[in-house]
Amino acid sequence: MPAQLVCFERNCRARFPIAEVIYNCPRCGGLLEVAPDPPNASPQDLKTLWRSRRAGNQPLDQSGVWRYREMIPFLENHDSVVTLREGNTPVLDAPRAAAYAGLDRLAFKHQGFNPTGSFKDNGMTCGASQAIRLGMKRVACVSTGNTSASMAAYASAGGLEPVIFIPHGNIAYGKLAQALEYGARTFQVKANFDQILALVRTLAERLGIYLLNSINPFRIEGQKTIMVELMDQRDWRPPDWIVLPGGNLGNISAFGKALREMRDFHLIPNLPRLAVIQAEGSAPFYELFHSRDRSALRPVERPETLATAIRIGDPVSWPKALHEVDCSAGTVEKVSEQEIADAKAVIGRCGIGCEPASAATLAGLRKLVAAGTVSRGADVVAVLTGNLLKDPDYIYRYHTGQLEAPGGVAIQSSFGNSPVVTENDPDRIAAMLEDY
């Protein structure tokens, strides 16, 4: 059977052709997903095939997304695929970060090693390929920065015209610079992320532009491969916990879907538990998860956090996210600006580094271990979603004691490392190094 789109709402489940340009269910307005489609090979044969592709020279096999194409079967052929050899991201042991969290061991899967420096590339290769398959010319997104950087790169690489919309004044410079350099028509709109999403939906419909926001089910398919690659790297042994930051909640939706499918296709024996970490000032999903009435998410009207990637008050994918956290017996935690900043510096001192939103994982883990939710001996993988160089301004301010949380509260530079300005004087420098 050819691949299909299916409505995520349990009491709708309407199905639609894969090549229809729709973003929500035309019947009930629910979120859409690509209907799961079990591969035509045994689990062992698939594992062997995927391993052998790692050594190949074909672009599709070199991609850490398309190598696992049996798990994302929405294209009849792969003529439209745009790949920058995304994925292939390492799993790095981080003993210092483990000690900081109170764990015996901790590994980071670092999505910042992607071509544009974030996990968005895993999804964007699929979104852009689907746009080309549909015959689209222009693609658009609203973004806190990483989606737009990634979309700009993949659209330009695939001969599409990228149009991006970002909140004015609230984007890390590294990300804006990428969008400009990759040639995206860029609008900095004087509104927040959630307001701009409504604007972009209107414009996409009016001008026939293909929307590549995270509700796009093809992007979710691509992000699934982060989990498939992780399990492959771990010889198909799921950890006890997987921890990730939550903003618009596309990534948790993708991770949960991937893990359930891998379990259903007998690639892994059981589901790991999923923990989503939000920033305190932008934590509507945390509130929903821990409230008694979980039928509707209450948006945060003025979301605030220096982790601008996750500064989102009305995450669109919350129904999927809630389902996935529940299915995995997982949890949701929130962390303060100070906790994010310190955790980020600790990840830096591991020689690994990441952008602020990614560091919410370590900060959240520390709280979950202290509360006894995650045990000291647990096998934990935290996903670092973006590269350290995305937001250098934040880093400089933290290390020089100039970082301020929203509202003007000073962040303590607990792990500060300020550069020393000095005369060209070997004696003085030697004396300073002796004291160090």
Q: Which residues bind ligand F0G (CB under 6 A)?
A: 118, 120, 143-147, 214, 245-251, 309-310, 355, 357-358, 385-386
Classify the C-alpha dihedral 265-217-290-102 as positive or negative: positive
Query: For residues 216 and 251, which CB has a smaller minimum distance to ligand F0G in the complex?
Result: 251
Reading across the β-sheet that carries 15-17, which strands appear in turn? Answer: 15-17, 4-7, 32-34
Q: In this structure, which long-range contacts are made by residues 40-48, counting pairs with CB atoms below 8 Å and at least 24 apart in sequence?
A: 40/70, 41/70, 43/265, 43/266, 43/267, 46/70, 46/265, 46/267, 47/232, 47/236, 47/267
Question: Of 142 and 267, which has the nearer Cβ to ligand F0G?
Answer: 142
182 vs 265 by CB, closer to ligand F0G: 182
**Six-digit token pair at 208?**
């026939």
**Least spacing, CB of residue 288 vs ligand F0G, in Å:** 14
Minimum CB–partner distance for residue 99 and ligand F0G (Å) = 24
CB of 147 to ligand F0G, least distance (A): 4
Where are the strands (E) in 286-432, listed by range? 331-335, 380-384
User: Minimal distance in Å, beta carbon 330 to ligand F0G?
Assistant: 14
**Shortest approach of ligand F0G to residue 192 CB, angstroms?**
12
Beta carbon nearer to ligand F0G, 212 or 267? 212
Q: Which is nearer to ligand F0G, 305 or 358 (CB)?
A: 358
Nearest residue (CB) to ligand F0G, 214 versus 216: 214
CB 58 within 8 A of CB 52: no
Q: How far is the CB of 120 from ligand F0G (least distance, A)?
A: 6
Closest contact distance (angstroms) between CB of 429 and ligand F0G is 38
Closer residue to ligand F0G (CB): 31 or 309: 309
User: Least distance in Å: CB of 377 to ligand F0G?
Assistant: 28
CB 26 within 8 A of CB 2: no
| For ligand F0G, the closer CB: 64 or 245 | 245
Question: DSSP secondary structure string, 39-74?
Answer: -SS-HHHHHHHHHHHTT--SHHHHSTTGGGGGGS--
- Cβ proximity to ligand F0G, 72 vs 151, nearer residue: 151
Q: What's the distance, Cα to Cα, between the start and end of the chain in Å? A: 67
C-alpha to C-alpha distance for 394 and 348, rounded to whole angstroms:
13
Q: Which two tokens stand for residue 183?
A: 């040639």
Q: Which two tokens stand for residue 21?
A: 């340009």
Nearer of residues 267 and 354 to ligand F0G, judged by Cβ: 354
* Residue 234 burial (10 A CB sphere; 0-12, 13-18, 19+): middle
In contact, 138 and 210? CB cutoff 8 Å:
yes
- Name the minimum Å distance from CB 166 to ligand F0G: 8
Residue 70: other Cβ atoms inside 10 A? 17
Element (H, E) at 204: helix 193-207
Shortest spacing between CB 284 and ligand F0G, in angstroms: 12
CA 97 – CA 93 distance, rounded (Å): 9
Contact 176, 146 (CB under 8 A): no
For residues 289 and 364, is the Cβ–Cβ distance under 8 A? no
